[in-house]
Amino acid sequence: MGKNEYKAEWEELAQVKKELAERDWFMGTSGNLAIRVSSSPASFLVTASGKDKRKQTDEDFLLVDENGEAMEETNLRPSAETLLHSRVFRNSQAGCSLHVHTVPNNVVSELYGDRGEITFRNQELIKAFDKWEEDASLIIPIIHNHAHIPRLTEEFSVYATEEKGAVLIRNHGITVWGRNAFEAKKLLEACEFLFQYHISLLSLKNISQTI
């Protein structure tokens, strides 16, 4: 399978990478991205480890199989959290999976880490997750940041069963996926907006009782 076989997916993922880099969502070379190339068995492009994601190069991504192993001869290593993306593609029909660290998603993951989840209600942007009723709620699970990646993957896997979703890893960013790159990015943006909103409102909580 040569580069021509997955040129469209490469370019789509490169575009997502560029947009997220413009927001500075890859601080300290953190974050990794994946896009599905074939269905069953799953293969996907994933970011190579240790690259500066503000740059666009021919070595930004590599093709891996559903176990996260490189499918072509290469000296690139897949990103450390490739197994998480792998589970998304094995467990569901999802087409794209994004893992990013932002200050707000880390802060929320720490604030609500002991509870294991955060719930959003009465916020227009939860509609991005098909929550249309006026009293609907969006629950995002928060899992422990196991240093042992297979164990982290196991716990993550429980929540990665539908074709779209989001999971926070405590002090280790968020993984968001959707049917395609457009949807995955849309859901990620919706989550980040909700986190920023929540933090801003929370910081005014005591004050707001007196205004």
Q: Which residues contribute to the annotated binding site for Zn(2+)? A: 99, 101
In the bound complex, what is the minimum distance in angstroms from residue 65's beta carbon to a second copy?
26
Query: What are phi and psi for residue 30, nearest 5 degrees?
Result: -75, 170
Strand ranges of the sheet holding 43-47, from the earlier edge strand across to the other edge: 61-65, 43-47, 32-38, 96-100, 174-178, 165-169, 137-143, 117-121
Q: Which stretch binds a second copy (CB under 8 A): 36-44, 64-72, 143-151, 153-161?
A: 143-151
Distance, in Å, from the CA atom of 12 to the CA atom of 128, rounded to the nearest integer, reads 21
Q: Residue 43 in contact with residue 64, Cβ under 8 Å? A: yes
- Which residues inside 59-78 make contact with a second copy, applying CB under 8 A? none
Does the footprint of a second copy cover residue 206 (CB under 8 A)? yes
Q: For residue 164, what are the contacts with CB-CB under 8 A and spacing of at least 6?
A: 94, 129, 177, 178, 179, 183, 184, 187
In the bound complex, what is the minimum distance in angstroms from residue 96's beta carbon to a second copy?
14
Does the footprint of a second copy cover residue 20 (CB under 8 A)? no
Q: Residue 51 in contact with residue 77, Cβ under 8 Å? A: no
Nearer Cβ to a second copy (38/171): 171
Nearest alpha carbon to residue 149 among 99, 96, 209: 99
Q: Residue from 4, 58, 122, 130 that binds a second copy (CB under 8 A)?
A: 122
Does the footprint of a second copy cover residue 124 (CB under 8 A)? yes
x/- mask, a second copy, residues 26-55, rule CB under 8 A, reads -xxxx---------------------x-x-
Q: Which stretch binds a second copy (CB under 8 A): 2-10, 21-29, 61-69, 154-162?
A: 21-29
Nearer Cβ to a second copy (94/187): 187
For every residue of 86-146, DSSP letters joined together read HHHHHHS---EEEEE--HHHHHHHHHTTTTTEEEEES-GGGGGGT--STT-EEEEEEE---
Does the footprint of a second copy cover residue 172 (CB under 8 A)? yes
Q: Which stretch binds a second copy (CB under 8 A): 2-10, 57-65, 158-166, 183-191?
A: 183-191
The contact set with a second copy (CB under 8 A) reads: 19, 23-24, 27-30, 52, 54, 101, 103-104, 106-107, 110-112, 122-125, 128, 132-134, 145-147, 169-173, 182, 185-187, 189-190, 192-193, 196-197, 199-208, 211
